[in-house]
Amino acid sequence: MKTYQLKNGSRVSRIAYGCMNLGQLDAVEDRERLIDTALAAGINFYDHADIYGAGYCETVFGELLKRNPAWRDHMLIQSKCGIRFAGDTYGDSAPSRYDFSFEHIMRSVDGILERLQIEQLDILLLHRPDLLMEPDEVARAFDALSSSGKVKDFGVSNFDGRQIELLQRSLDQDLIVNQVEVSLLHAELIAEGARVNTGQGFAPASGTLDYCRLNNISIQAWSPVAGGRLFGPAADAPQHIHDASALVYELADRYATNASAILLAWLLRHPAGIQPVLGTTNPERLRQSTEADGIELSREDWYGLLERAQGRSVP
């Protein structure tokens, strides 16, 4: 599989594997087969979060690493923290919330490392913007994690460019990743640039992809196939969804591949260097999805998919 180079110099597979659903597989052999399939396909990047399965997904991954210690030499492991569930720590009255406090970040990383059974996390992401974020407090946590060797590099998830810039101003470490939702059916971050100065009444563009490109911040795409909604749209789905699905399958035939690979190839075609994070627990679907690495959609096919998925032509 072809690779991207991160800001820290690491080479990462153009497609990552997201472990959010790993705990849904009951048998350790099934989990092992899934990760073996990913490694055999050339995927060296594995994404976690401390809230996936309330930590269980990291736990089962750690058990797999213990059974297969040689895997670690072929993996970059990333996890996220900062989301807290209702009732967490402070009793039933505590709401769902975000927490970038020094204490919570430090405690979260200790838990992540313990569950994964590793000594250092390759990348730590802040999962969603904390509306009460104090950048200097986050910087203190990052300094402690970096100097202790617990975390090698840092990034964010679901941040826009201005939020990244605000945080980066206080940090000694470069933010190297921003993981956001991007897919053919959730393409606002890509399509917003076409609506600048059109008078169509849309909110001002966030410029998040451009900001990340300007600052060499890797874009990761969660939910890159939009939950499979284009594989077989519901009968009552809007007509443009059915039209987009039909074109996906038409292109799959033309490029001699499958629908999942076409949707991922649409993301890979973008010059921002988007890294889709796959979440399937089906080894064959995973293998088929990696065919996207060998596909380069034409400009006409790329725009054709965007037009169908939006239900309108570009301005």
Query: Which positions are catalytic?
Result: 52
12, 71, 194 from 6: Cα distances, Å: 7, 21, 27
Sign, Cα dihedral of 70, 76, 82, 83: negative
Contact yes or no for 177/217 (Cβ under 8 A): yes
Among residues 46, 45, 58, which one has the least CA distance to residue 112? 58
Distances (CA, A) of 144 to 80, 100, 138, 169, 295: 17, 14, 10, 17, 43
The candidate with the shortest Cα–Cα distance to 185, out of 226, 231, 235, is 226
Nearest of 177, 282, 284, 287 to residue 222 by alpha carbon: 177
At residue 121's C-alpha, the angle toward residues 169 and 283, to 5°, is: 120
